[in-house]
Amino acid sequence: MHGLRCRGIDNAKITLSPKMLDAWQVALFTIHHSPLVLHLNVPFPAVKSKICREIYCFLTTHSLSSPLWRHRAILPPSSLLLCQCPLPHWRSQSNAKYLRISDGFHKCSFPFFQLPHLEKDLMSRRSKMGFTLVELLVVIAIIGVLVGLLLPAVQAAREAARRMSCSNNMKQLGLALHNYHDTHQKFPPSVSASGSMASGTAVPGPLKARNHRGWTMLLPFIEQAALYEAFDFSLAASGCTYSSPANSNSISGPEPGAAGNANHIVVSTVVPAFLCPSDPNPTNTTSTHAAYRISSATTLQGAYTNYDFSSARVLASSDVWSGTAQSTRRMFGMDSQSKMRDVLDGTSNSIAIAETIRNQWDGIPQTWGYAKWVGNGVDPSYTYGINYLRYSTNPLLPYKLGSYETSGSLHTGGAQFTFGDGSVHFLTDSIDLTTLQRLTYISDGQVIPEY
């Protein structure tokens, strides 16, 4: 805008730039009694708003102004400007006036004329200052539909992120196994000196039960050196001798929690690297049963793990790993000392670590720091396969695994497994059981089909 020049209503001029003249396609002034209506059809809202303000300034500062005028402007983002100005001498069609608009090169004249039927419509427009209840409800309904459409996508994205975090945990555990093997020339056992064994060569004997887990040996390789240094490997990790006949098994030294044995502090510590973020179940045991607790000397509860070694499912009888049949041997087991050379089927074809759930219907979930009754590892090859689930008795908690030492997860459609070469694979719960068994056995010599 270059400014305004007022020379009386008959030859009033508003000087506009050529660009604004191009944008201003139609300008129509309608006067009836007091309302003065300006309709603008301008494709650019910012230009339209500026033109409206300039014309309003012109009308309200015109030389014909008098104290009797009452000025009131409504400048919505629409094309309507209302200026309430009593102009009785403009009430007849014969008194039509013109607004002349010029940019110095072009001149446009627009007539003022009466349209009596507009007064009621204009007054009703001015009275509509907000949303009606119906409009508000429609907007709320639309927002609700959009949220309903977006929510499943958001949940799917969050689960994908949790599953990726779980996969990263298992990858780190696979690398820790390789680093341990490079250091000690063998893998750690799944369980060492289990006091819950009643028969077989895995029975430790009197004063020899320690209930150790191989995860305590991997602590330095997953950035948990402080926990590793706090654990005393010469003492028991738990006091479990649940299934043992009288005097056949007894723990070495004092129970955890008793004077001289602080291992209960280590094995009750929750380690994030052992937890799947998709599993909202408790991170520690709640049972005080002698078969599952750390010991009678402490009230601390053992910490769970979502990842455990691939080993045979046992109850109260087992041989040591080296005494098991080669055709059904897993990578880990009772007092195992497996090496890379023992994995005859190839590390890329053999499961090392299996995912499980921190909630079970039969037995209790796996603890990373100590062995207990039905707490010796996870067997992917067991008859139930992956995700043998039952509904939880607690409606606030999701599914629970149907039986102890079995594989599963709360990821939709399957579970994740770390193979001997450190790679992580998601196996569907519809995988053929024979294929799953061949992936579990490390030296059966069988061809593994596509999975």
pLDDT at 65: 38
Q: How many domains does the chain have?
A: 1
Instruction: State pLDDT tens for residues 387-441.
Output: 998 777 777 777 889 999 999 999 999 999 999 999 999 999 999 999 999 999 9
Q: What is the pLDDT of residue 351?
A: 98
Residue with the bigger pLDDT between 368 and 49: it is 368
Global pTM reads 0.69
Residue 450 has pLDDT above 60, yes or no: yes
Render pLDDT for 53-84 as a digit per residue (tens, 0 to 9). Answer: 555 454 444 433 333 333 333 333 333 333 33
- On whether residue 36 sits in a domain, the answer given is no
> Are the C-beta atoms of residues 167 and 414 closer than 8 Å to each other?
no
- Length of the chain equals 451
Domain of 352, in residue numbers: 155-450
Instruction: Provide the pLDDT confidence category of residue 244 given band limits of 50, 70 and 90.
Output: low
Q: Which residues fall within 8 angstroms of residue 29, CB to CB, at 6 or more apart?
A: 36, 37, 38, 99, 110, 111, 112
Which residue has better confidence, 130 or 75?
130
Question: Which pLDDT score, from 0 to 100, does residue 53 have?
Answer: 54
Confirm if 332 and 431 have CB atoms less than 8 A apart: no
Residue 63 or 151, more confident: 151
Q: How many CA atoms lie within 13 A of 182 on its CB side?
A: 7
pLDDT in tens, 174-222: 999 999 999 999 999 999 999 999 889 999 988 899 999 999 999 999 9
In a domain? residue 430: yes
Could you give the strand order of the β-sheet that contains 307-309, starting from the edge strand earlier in sequence?
A: 307-309, 351-355, 414-419, 424-428
pLDDT at position 398 is 74
β-bridge partners, 351: 419
Residue 107 pLDDT greater than 60, yes or no: no
Which token pair is 326?
A: 């080669």
Any domain includes 310:
yes
Phi first, then psi, for residue 334 (nearest 5°) are -70, 120
Helix (H), strand (E), coil (C) string for the chain: CCEEECCCHHHCEEECCHHHHHHCCCEEEEECCCEEEEEECCCCHHHHHHHHHHHHHHHHCCCCCCCCCCCCEECCCCCEEEEECCCHHHCCHHHCCEEEEECCCCEEEEEEECCCCHHHHHHHHHHCCCCCHHHHHHHHHHHHHHHHHHHHHHHHHHHHHHHHHHHHHHHHHHHHHHHHHHHHCCCCCCEECCCCCCECCCCCCCCCECCEECHHHHHHHHCCHHHHHHCCCCCCCCCCCCCCCCCCCCECCCCCCCCCCCHHHHHCCCCHHHCCCCCCCCCECCCCCCCCCCCCCCCCCCEECCEEEECCCCCCECCCHHHCCHHHCCCCCECCCCCHHHCCCCHHHCEEEEECCCCECCCCCCECCCCECCECCECCCCCCCCCCEECCCCCCCCCEECCCCCCCCCCCCEEEEEECCCCEEEEECCCCHHHHHHHHCCCCCCCCCCC
pLDDT score for 92:
34
Q: Tokens standing for 103?
A: 């940019």
- Stretch 342-346: mean pLDDT: 95
pLDDT score of 87 more than 70: no
**What is the rounded CA–CA span in Å between residue 303 and residue 272?**
10
% of the chain at pLDDT higher than 70: 70
Residue 242 in any domain: the answer is yes
User: With bands split at pLDDT 50, 70 and 90, how would you rate the model's confidence at 50?
Assistant: low
Sequence letter at residue 399: Y
- Rounded distance, CA 320 to CA 182, Å? 23
Q: If you average pLDDT over residues 381-386, what whole number do you get?
A: 93
Task: Determine, yes or no, domain membership for 308.
Answer: yes
Give me the pLDDT at residue 104, please.
Answer: 43
Looking at residue 252, its pLDDT comes to 83
Q: What does the pLDDT look like over 159-169, one tens digit per residue?
A: 999 999 999 99
β-pair partners for 109: 100
Note the pLDDT tens digit of each residue in 291-324.
999 999 999 999 999 999 999 999 888 999 999 9
Give the mean pLDDT of 313-336.
93
User: In the numeric block, which tokens belong to residue 348?
Assistant: 């890329």
Whether 208 is in a domain gets the answer yes
Across 36-65, b (16+ Cβ under 10 Å) vs e yields bbbebebeeeebbbebbebbbebbeeeeee
In a domain, 223, yes or no: yes
Task: Answer whether residue 42 is part of any domain.
Answer: no
φ, ψ (nearest 5 deg) of residue 110: -125, 125
CA distance 287 to 251: 20
Q: What are the Cα distances from residue 254, in Å, to 3, 13, 209, 236, 241?
A: 97, 104, 11, 8, 13
For the chain, give the mean pLDDT: 77
In this structure, what token pair is assigned to residue 281?
């179940």
Which two structure tokens, joined as six digits, stand for 338? 């497996």
What pLDDT does 246 receive? Answer: 63
